[in-house]
Structure 1
Amino acid sequence: MKGPGKLLARSGPTGPGPADAPGFWLENEAHRDWLAADALKQFDFFRKSKRKDGGFHTLDWKGKPLRIQLQELHSTTRMIHAYAMAELCGAGGADIVDHGMQYLAQGHADGEGWAWGAEGSAPSDRRRMAYGHVFVLLAASSAHLIGHPGGQPLIDQASQVLMDHFWEEEPGLFGADFGPDWTPLDSYRGMNANMHGVEALLAAYEATGWEDYLNRAGGILGFFLGQMAPAYGWRIPEHYGPDWSVDLGYDGDPMFRPAGTTPGHSLEFARLLLQHWDLSGRPENEAPSVAHDLAQQALTDGWAEDGGLIYTVDFDGAPLLTDRYWWPVTEGIGVLASLIKLDPQEIYEEWYRRLWTFAHEHFIDHKRGGWYPALNAKGKPVETQFKGKPDIYHALQATLYPLAPGLSRQITSLPLITS
């Protein structure tokens, strides 16, 4: 893995860690305290999202509700997941989990599945998206971990819907999206829903111990990381046709289905690969080296000259969308933390410090809490693609995964929040 280049990690006494500290920040008490403090700030900031009439507000940078009525399924479910983590950490979150679970049942629920968008107490955008439904399974699994009475029933329900409608048995992947009557919307097949499907399946395995979840996650990882990634120079194709043939020329939604390949997704997938490998008993296979190769290529392709990770690149590594969002940085932090725990190399530490230093200087709102979602060309926060601070999910996990004792979530072992 190549080094981070001319920009070196730097931080003051209130930064993520002492720049001149020997060893690894994961073992540094000041860094771990700083991570815990940022997690608490995030929990406090996003508690204000709770709507009195059900669901959650999108908050502006100051923490005030924006006038956005549509609530998308992935946003509702990510809040449930995040505040289940708060509860497990000792920071308290059961009330928000319960609030979100009620809104899933009373706002998003639409017959057999869940509507992509809801307003008030009724579905409004009634598309049934694989991406949204796998997050229902994630939310259910996290709720179950804190003992919510609706957790296990929702795991069962979400699993049934996913297997009955979205799972394609022959490739062993999550497939088409649907309209309200379960008619396929189009012939598109995508990597993103499957990547988050792995996340949800692993969470369901950790919550229930049922190995079918682990096995299905392994099959998805085998296709995208065992076949596709090495065939395309460790850049993962995002878009596919109905027969799961790669569509290199696809150019759809600029946020959810952009052209090219996404370094942030490679970083996220690499962490999930290590999580699956760890949960599988750390078998003697190539998972650690594949995670290394994916992370190396993503960081090489994605790191901008003036810092941050760009959104998308072509399959020769040429930049496409050079927007710099918060979430690729958080996913880089997550996989680097896992790689350091597994094989503590200096080059991983250089990147880990660099990403945290950049986040500290550009993305984190130290005064009010939460992270800004995007930067302009001068490295200043900007509202273009995103309005306000859209969610807690990515940035929270960036603070919690380094603190967990292993490569899996194992959030239940974290003592830091109550210390």
Structure 2
Amino acid sequence: MRAEVQEELERNILPYWMEKVTDHEQGGYYGRIDGYDKVHPEAEKGAILNARILWTFSAAYRLLGKKEYLLAAQRALGYILKNFTDPQYGGVFWSLNTDGSVRDAKKQTYAIGFMIYGLSEYVRATGDETVLETAIGLYTCLEEHAFDKRNIGYIEALKRNWEPIPDMRLSDKDENASRTMNTHLHVIEAYTNLYRVWPASRLVQSIHTLLHIFKTNIIHPETYHLDLFFNDSWEGKRNIQSFGHDIEASWLLYETALVLGEKKVLEEITPIIQKIAHAAMEGVRKDGSMIYEKWTDTGHVDEQRQWWVMCENIIGNLNFYQHFGDEDALRRAFACWLFTKEKLIDHKNGEWFWSIGPDGFVNRAEDKAGFWKCPYHNSRMCFEVMERFSDK
């Protein structure tokens, strides 16, 4: 499997982004390539896409040492520093027009978290102290402006000047909630990576706070699924089970505990993440795939097999096998990889399709590359397999 994912990474995923998504006219990378591989040069350029491209090629360079990956990372970095960072108020803009001018200046905590994730990975790969200072600056912005000290949590979004904003949604598919699981998951992911290059005591405290938030407010005390949307006081409907987020959280939270290296934290989080991983398996189907979501109040089930959910299912099960010796988890990871190879990877034109419907048909209505379709999930799955099983 390790050899297969490295081949997939280096012959299919990374070349697609270097060859087809690079914007040679306006700089950086295109904002969109649709499900039929048509480039849309007029598409807006999102902070999340650019941060994830930076992370992907930084990690590729760190692990594989090839100069073309460093150059791709530097292309993303240069564009981000020139266009996305806000020189007046700090933080990063949500989206840009194709010419690099600001399209939406709001400060979305999720996007800033991913910028920290990408910048810190670049520092891991290169040791660049200037980039580290930029990452620390973004961390400081979040702690000063987005952290709610009264209710203990990170505000979903704010205006450019960090004032309250009426519409805090991450996307049209989300509820307009002031607290979300998704943002907190990716902030702790970013802070964990930043800790690897900057183990400051204040960052450690922030990570401890985030772990407490997950244990106290986000993880359902009975089902161990993650609840998704909340108000300022952490009250929510608790009616959606997102299996991909469950399994992703199981390994990301465990990784946080491992990186911190604190025995007490690891002992506390281990039984919790085991229960989260078991809860996530409710979304696994006989063909090895994992479905998207279930609404517990209506019984509606979204049977789409989305590309990112497959990736997180593979990593989460490999994590469970690696650290807890669960042979069934290893079999589940292999089964999901086989499904992914057969159904989701575009072996002809490169990259992966967004999803496969329950009818087995490819979803081409969604992008191959775009605001939410990035190289992060599938490349990270490859990296995780390569790093975890390098001698097997």
**Taking structure 2 as the reference length, what is the TM-score of the superposition?**
0.86
1:32-83: CA deviation from partner (whole Å, max 9, x where unpaired): 2112111112111111222122221133457653344201110010000000
Aligned 1:99-138 pairs, distance under 5 A: 99-110=75-86, 111-112=88-89, 113-119=91-97, 120-138=99-117
Q: Does structure 1 residue 217 correspond to structure 2 residue 207?
A: yes
Match among 174, 186, 190 for residue 200 of structure 1: 190
Q: What's the CA shift for 1:367? A: 3.4
Q: Does structure 1 residue 314 correspond to structure 2 residue 285?
A: no
Task: Tell me the residue number matched to 1:56.
Answer: 29
Aligned 1:48-197 pairs, distance under 5 A: 48=19, 49-52=21-24, 53-57=26-30, 58-60=32-34, 65-89=39-63, 90-92=65-67, 93-110=69-86, 111-112=88-89, 113-119=91-97, 120-147=99-126, 148=128, 150-186=130-166, 188-197=178-187
Q: What's the CA shift for 1:392? A: 0.7
Identity of aligned residues (%): 17
Give me the whole-angstrom Cα distance separating, in 2, the residues matched to 1:76 and 1:293. 34
The residue type paired with residue 349 of structure 1 is L
Task: Tell me the residue number matched to 1:21.
Answer: none
Q: What's the CA shift for 1:230? A: 4.2
Q: What's the CA shift for 1:316? A: 7.1
In 1, are the aligned partners of 2:306 and 2:356 still within 8 Å (CA)?
yes
Task: Tell me the residue number matched to 2:276.
Answer: 294
In 2, are the aligned partners of 1:205 and 1:211 still within 8 Å (CA)?
no
Task: Tell me the residue number matched to 2:7.
Answer: 37
CA spacing shift, 1:312–1:277, aligned 2, 3 Å: same
CA spacing shift, 1:106–1:144, aligned 2, 3 Å: same
Task: Tell me the residue number matched to 2:173.
Answer: none
Question: Which sits farther off after the overlay, 199-208 or 39-48?
Answer: 39-48
RMSD: 2.4
Give me the whole-angstrom Cα distance separating, in 2, the residues matched to 1:321 and 1:61. 20
In 2, are the aligned partners of 1:117 and 1:124 still within 8 Å (CA)?
yes
CA spacing shift, 1:63–1:87, aligned 2, 3 Å: farther
CA spacing shift, 1:203–1:84, aligned 2, 3 Å: same
CA spacing shift, 1:138–1:62, aligned 2, 3 Å: same
In 2, are the aligned partners of 1:325 and 1:373 still within 8 Å (CA)?
yes
In 2, are the aligned partners of 1:38 and 1:369 still within 8 Å (CA)?
no
The residue type paired with residue 402 of structure 1 is V
| Count of matched residue pairs | 367
Give me the whole-angstrom Cα distance separating, in 2, the residues matched to 1:96 and 1:62. 24
In 1, are the aligned partners of 2:229 and 2:238 still within 8 Å (CA)?
yes
Task: Tell me the residue number matched to 2:323.
Answer: 342
**Ranges in structure 1 where 5+ consecutive residues have no aligned partner:** 1-30, 250-259, 407-413
In 1, are the aligned partners of 2:244 and 2:308 still within 8 Å (CA)?
yes
Give me the whole-angstrom Cα distance separating, in 2, the residues matched to 1:67 and 1:141. 29
Q: What's the CA shift for 1:109? A: 2.6
Question: Which sits farther off after the overlay, 237-246 or 99-108?
Answer: 99-108
**Ranges in structure 2 where 5+ consecutive residues have no aligned partner:** 167-176
1:227-285: CA deviation from partner (whole Å, max 9, x where unpaired): 54242411111111122222336xxxxxxxxxx23111111111111101211326252
**Taking structure 1 as the reference length, what is the TM-score of the superposition?**
0.81
SS of the residue corresponding to residue 295 of structure 2 reads coil
Match among 346, 350, 370 for residue 365 of structure 1: 346
